[in-house]
Structure 1
Amino acid sequence: MTAKPSKTQISDEDVSPRDRIVSTVIIGIIRCLTLLPYRRRVPVGGWVISRLVAPLIGYRGRIRDNLRLIFPDMSEEEVVQMTFDVPDQIGRTLCELFSPKNLVAMAEQTPITGDGIAAVDAARAAGRPIIIVSGHIGNYDIARSKLIQRGHKVGGLYRSMNYKGFNDFYVSRISQVGTPLFLRGRRGMGEMLKFLKAGNAIAMLIDQHMTAGAPLKFFGHTAYTALSAAELALRYDALLVPCYGIRQADGLSFEMIVESPIPHTTPEEMTQALNDSLEAQVRANMSQWLWVHRRWKA
């Protein structure tokens, strides 16, 4: 199945000058990096974001604040190292997302581990809807690409970027990994539900602050979390599966981890289980999570 991404409603007049400048700079950096071979492009992209961009846009301060909240006993040396390692991961992921052909080729080589892949394949064979849930750790599009290569029809739910120029650039690239893509919002959700009810799979990320979400726990602190993935799983009897694309030590390759499906109980219990799953993966791969998120807003 092919489908165009849902259209955005972003107006450039509503965008702050800072967002426009940051987006323009990032697009320029990415276009320059594409001149390099892929295996050089990714680490160089990590270095550029970590050493040059992160200090300018406040990433190091946000990382430090989050780590001091969650790990107050972490040594200053470890905190400083994380302020370099996390932006490096961000830069590598950006380079991969904006190099879709290379990302798809890397996904082809990615091994699958975990107890959930058999259940996911069985659900597809039975025509049962599947909800794949991940977070901003490693590279989440590795898992989407890998499942598409295994014969799954996987739709992705995405959130629009603050600047239309950057958003269009972003969507044009991730759509080359696979379609359909659904923009978060009323129209996108309607399209996504129709796709899900037809017995297909959708991929969702749940680790961003949601003001209207439930006050669940993440690293022992209250983190307002959307219940929508669990609610959809209950409403449409969909398989709810945590799935991650974890970067390996070489900085380029991945392991795709498909965990056992979350049992159907209540939306709150199921979503807390998803938070717990992601927390375990973050603890095992600390620098690979997006510690620049304001995840624990009061």
Structure 2
Amino acid sequence: MFAWRLRLARFAARSLDLLAAFGIRILFALARSLGADRAADLGGFLARNLGPLFPAHRTAKDNIRRAFPGISAAEVKRITHEAWDNLGRTAAEYAHLDTLINFDPDNPDAGNVEISGIDHFEALRDDGKPGIIFAGHFANWELPAICAARYGLEATAVFRAPNAIAVAKAIHEVRSQTMGGLEAARQGAAFAMQGVLERGGHLGMLIDQHFTRGVIVDFMGRPALTNPVLAKFAKRFECPVHGVRVVRLPGRRFRLELTPPLDLPRDANGEIDVPGAMQAMTRVVEGWLRDNPEQWLWMHRRWRPKLTGEKLEE
């Protein structure tokens, strides 16, 4: 009886995955047919109106109140409204990652992408050393990896695959056509990441989400757990560490900003201090968040009650 139920459950799971895969293909085809601009407008419209119906909306509002104590209800509403809009646009733009940006490395002032810190891109590309680039879920966070590939910067993007298999496959297919190296965050991924740096390549990774086995950092005045792997590699390879963020601009434009290499804190032996290094990177992300709170992914449970020891009022 148990074996029969198990086979039935597996069959149902495969059937749902196939149905989801078909649905994702249809949505991607629809977004393609609309064009990047209209697809983004539709995605933003749907997310603005449907997002507040989901539990993630409560998470977003709680996060905003944690990050900005004393914020008005009207401002919470504005930020969540615009954050849903940004998320919807980003989701719709996945179908257009290969054509979304018009970026020419030989003429960076043309097209729909502005680059700030172009000299740092060039240094990373030409110094013959490994390098680390951290980022956060701002605007369309896929764009740095696309621009790096077009700029000739050998970079491997470390990503967390979506839980839904069909969605993960669809996104990976699009990413593989537009970016350089890709490495899923999974068991054993650290060995692949180490290999990238040993070959003189560059690692890019988002560091603004909860990581259960992480180190504690102060983020917006509250403790949060973050993945320490980039700091560990910085310590081992003594390589430059830069931050990169994307800002969504009016008129279907984006701005990419690459920071100078961070001066990371060191211990008594002169080696990079891992918790201190992650705190330094987090401070950069915090500055980005204060600049553009409406373009961050507030729907993720970044702060956990076991660390903060707080409960927000209704």
Q: Secondary structure at the match of 1:102?
A: coil
**Which letter does structure 1 place at the counterpart of 2:261?**
P
**Which letter does structure 2 place at the counterpart of 1:201?**
H
Could you say which residue in structure 1 is the equivalent of 2:31? 33
1:178 CA displacement: 1.1
CA pair 152-207 structure 1, distance change in 2 beyond 3 A? same
**Which letter does structure 1 place at the counterpart of 2:241?**
L
Q: Percent identity between the aligned chains?
A: 27
Q: Distance in 2 between matches of 1:20 and 1:222?
A: 41
- Please list, as runs of the form range in 1=range in 2, the aligned pairs for 1:140-289 lying within 5 A after superposition: 140-250=141-251, 252-264=252-264, 265=266, 266-289=273-296
Q: Distance in 1 between matches of 2:22 and 2:70?
A: 38
User: Alignment RMSD, CA only?
Assistant: 2.7
1:31 CA displacement: 3.7
1:290 aligns with 2:297: yes
**Which letter does structure 2 place at the counterpart of 1:278?**
V
Q: Distance in 2 between matches of 1:239 and 1:233?
A: 7
1:51 aligns with 2:49: yes
**Structure 2: gaps spanning 5 or more residues:** 1-8, 106-110, 267-272, 307-314
1:26 CA displacement: 6.5
Q: Distance in 1 between matches of 2:202 and 2:240?
A: 9
**Which letter does structure 2 place at the counterpart of 1:277?**
V
CA pair 170-12 structure 1, distance change in 2 beyond 3 A? farther
Task: Tell me if the contact between 2:24 and 2:170 (Cα under 8 Å) persists in the aligned partners.
Answer: no
Q: Distance in 2 between matches of 1:128 and 1:220?
A: 35
1:70 CA displacement: 2.1
Answer 1 or 2: higher relative contact order, Cα 8 Å, separation at least 6. Answer: 1
Q: Distance in 2 between matches of 1:124 and 1:49?
A: 37
1:113 aligns with 2:116: yes
Task: Tell me if the contact between 1:70 and 1:219 (Cα under 8 Å) persists in the aligned partners.
Answer: yes
What do the CA deviations read for 1:6-39 (whole angstroms, capped 9, x no partner)?
xxxxx98898x99999998776544422220222
1:131 CA displacement: 0.8
CA pair 271-21 structure 1, distance change in 2 beyond 3 A? farther
Could you say which residue in structure 1 is the equivalent of 2:126? 125
Task: Tell me if the contact between 2:61 and 2:80 (Cα under 8 Å) persists in the aligned partners.
Answer: yes
Task: Tell me if the contact between 1:107 and 1:145 (Cα under 8 Å) persists in the aligned partners.
Answer: no
Q: Distance in 2 between matches of 1:152 and 1:236?
A: 18
Q: Distance in 1 between matches of 2:218 and 2:22?
A: 36
Q: Distance in 2 between matches of 1:96 and 1:162?
A: 20
Q: Distance in 2 between matches of 1:102 and 1:222?
A: 39
Could you say which residue in structure 2 is the equivalent of 1:5? none
CA pair 262-101 structure 1, distance change in 2 beyond 3 A? same
Task: Tell me if the contact between 1:12 and 1:163 (Cα under 8 Å) persists in the aligned partners.
Answer: no
1:68 aligns with 2:65: yes
Task: Tell me if the contact between 2:216 and 2:275 (Cα under 8 Å) persists in the aligned partners.
Answer: no
What count of residue pairs does the alignment treat as equivalent? 283
**Which letter does structure 1 place at the counterpart of 2:162?**
M
Q: Distance in 1 between matches of 2:287 and 2:259?
A: 12
What do the CA deviations read for 1:21-65 (whole angstroms, capped 9, x no partner)?
99987765444222202221112111112212x134323211111
1:74 CA displacement: 1.2
**Which letter does structure 2 place at the counterpart of 1:269?**
G
1:181 CA displacement: 0.6
Q: Which has more radius of gyration? A: 2
Q: Secondary structure at the match of 2:59?
A: helix
- Please list, as runs of the form range in 1=range in 2, the aligned pairs for 1:83-102 lying within 5 A after superposition: 83-102=80-99
Task: Tell me if the contact between 1:182 and 1:189 (Cα under 8 Å) persists in the aligned partners.
Answer: no
CA pair 155-220 structure 1, distance change in 2 beyond 3 A? same
What TM-score comes out, normalization by structure 1 length?
A: 0.86
